[in-house]
Amino acid sequence: MAKAALITGITGQDGYHLAEFLHGKGYEVYGIIRGQHNPKRARVEQEQPFVKLLEADITDTSSLIRAIETARPDEFYNLAAISHVGYSFKVPQLVADVTGKGVLNALEAIRLTGGEKTIRFYQASTSEMFGGLDYNRPGKGYDETALFHPRSPYGVAKLYGHWITKNYRESYGMHASCGILFNHEGERRGLEFVTRKISNAVARIHLGKQDHIELGNLDAKRDWGYAGDYVVGMWLMLQQDQPDDYVLATGETHTIGEFLDLAFKEVGINDWKPYVKQNPAFMRPAEVDILLGNPAKAEAKLGWRRKVDFPGMVKLMVQHDIGLESATSLD
Ligand code: NAP
Ligand code: F7E
């Protein structure tokens, strides 16, 4: 019999890639969609008709219970979150409820439906829990043993989600694993994140639809991988006999300037500086200056390997956005 997977956050970047991957593996895929009129529903129905959508919200445990009773999943991937770090400073209490306590709601829904021994659980933890301050391992990067020091309401909420997942594993013997994922991007990334904001602006500048891009802090460094590679790691975690926590990262860190260099060169522009303006509105009250991950454990124990490198990912994103922007009229 085909395995069933229930994904929260199906309308997000990772939800898209994970649904594709699990469908390819023969899973029956259920996705949770929230809101009384979610404009992303039509996109999922059109692009991924194999996904069975269930109406629920991560802040409403009763709706999660009904979703579990319908889907009867073997695997539960909790990707739902308010995931934008900058925005989390604007709505910190909402982020605590959704990104933090939402994880507890999902775990409780599994227990209340009697699934704690049968449903394997994945929690989308993040490198934002490290915060970039305790950068005491130059060259090696953060691994699963590094100290946490979150620098945003998002990072703090995710740390709660991380620890409550570990607590349910230890308290109730649940097969619950946390993937501590460093930044991963791609053609499905939200336009509010810096990589997609840049790739989309570069495409529009190339096509004459826009003349510059406004960004915040250009000095930050990130360990950027491709989202399609990272969802494979999520799945691998749930295929192990024992639950555990794993870092997924590339082991390289790059500045936003390096991303700009590659993206603009993709359209034949060698100097991006005339096209980029700094706008304090995109600065954050506290910044994570540098993130570099060490995926050695995931590589050794899961056999996880990324396929797309940094230049390949930038190229893919810019070319995708050129195609997308060429297909839409001048605006
Ligand atoms: P994303 O594109 O922002 O997607 C977030 C998803 O959460 C969306 O489907 C969103 O639904 C859903 N959601 C928000 N509030 C909800 C609620 N109250 N109830 C149910 N669903 C709700 O994020 P992503 O990049 O795919 O990331 C997936 C997960 O991994 C997130 O938890 C994120 O924090 C975490 N993560 C991401 C990265 C990364 O670099 N991408 C790295 C580490 C960890 P709507 O579309 O309806 O808003
Ligand atoms: O910012 C700087 C910004 O918003 C990256 C989420 O998926 O990854 C993501 O969080 C850097 C920061 O991603 C702009 O200040 C400059 O230093 O693309 P971002 P993030 O904050 O790293 C982690 C791992 C997650 O878990 C999160 O869910 O870029 N930056 N100028 C800008 N950032 C944005 N968004 N917009 C700008 O204009």
What digits encode the pLDDT tens for the residues 196-215?
A: 999 999 999 999 999 999 99
Report how far residue 43's alpha carbon sits from residue 45's, in angstroms, rounded to the nearest whole number: 5
pLDDT in tens, 310-330: 999 999 999 999 999 999 865
What is the CA(220)–ligand 2 centre distance, in A? Answer: 9
What are the tens digits of pLDDT across the range 237-265?
999 999 999 999 999 999 999 999 999 99
Query: At residue 95, does pLDDT exceed 80?
Result: yes
Question: 51 and 43 in contact (C-beta within 8 Å)?
Answer: no
pLDDT of residue 1: 85
Q: Of all residues in the chain, what percent carry a pLDDT higher than 70?
A: 97
Please indicate, yes or no, whether the overall pTM of this predicted structure exceeds 0.85.
yes
Mind listing the pLDDT tens digit for each residue in 258-309? Answer: 999 999 999 999 999 999 999 999 999 999 989 999 999 999 999 999 999 9
Q: Which atom of ligand 1 lies closest to the CA of 38?
A: 47
The per-residue pLDDT for range 213-223, each reduced to its tens digit, is: 999 999 999 99
CA 325 to ligand 1 centroid distance, Å? 24
Q: Give the ligand with the smallest distance to the CA of 155.
A: 2
- In this predicted structure, the answer to whether residue 331 has a pLDDT above a threshold of 60 is no
pLDDT at 134 over 90: no
The whole-number average pLDDT for the span 62-79 is: 98
Mutational pocket test of ligand 1: of 8, 10, 14, 59, the residue with most ligand atoms within 8 Å of the beta carbon: 14
Q: Is 212 annotated as a binding residue?
A: yes
d(CA 36, CA 15): 20
CATH 3.90.25.10 range(s) for the chain read: 191-222+253-291+309-330
Distance CA 249, CA 322 (A): 27
Which ligand has the shortest distance to the CA of 161? 1
Question: How many angstroms does the Cα of residue 270 sit away from the middle of ligand 1?
Answer: 34
Inter-residue contact 243 to 120 (CB < 8 Å): yes
Query: Among 111, 142, 145, which residue's Cα sits nearest to residue 128?
Result: 142
Return the pLDDT at 135.
58
Architecture of domain 191-222+253-291+309-330: Alpha-Beta Complex (3.90)
Using CA atoms in the order 18, 23, 25, 30, what is the torsion angle rounded to 10 degrees?
A: 80
Round to the nearest angstrom and report the end-to-end CA distance of the chain: 49
What is the average per-residue pLDDT within 110-127?
98
Mean pLDDT of the chain: 96
pLDDT at 139: 65
CB of 129 closer than 6 angstroms to any ligand 1 atom:
no
Does the pLDDT at position 136 exceed 60?
no
Q: The CATH number of 4-184+224-248 is which of 3.30.565.10, 1.10.230.10, 3.40.50.720, 3.40.50.1980?
A: 3.40.50.720
Catalytic residues, by residue number, are 126, 128, 154
Residue intervals of the chain classified under CATH 3.40.50.720 are 4-184+224-248
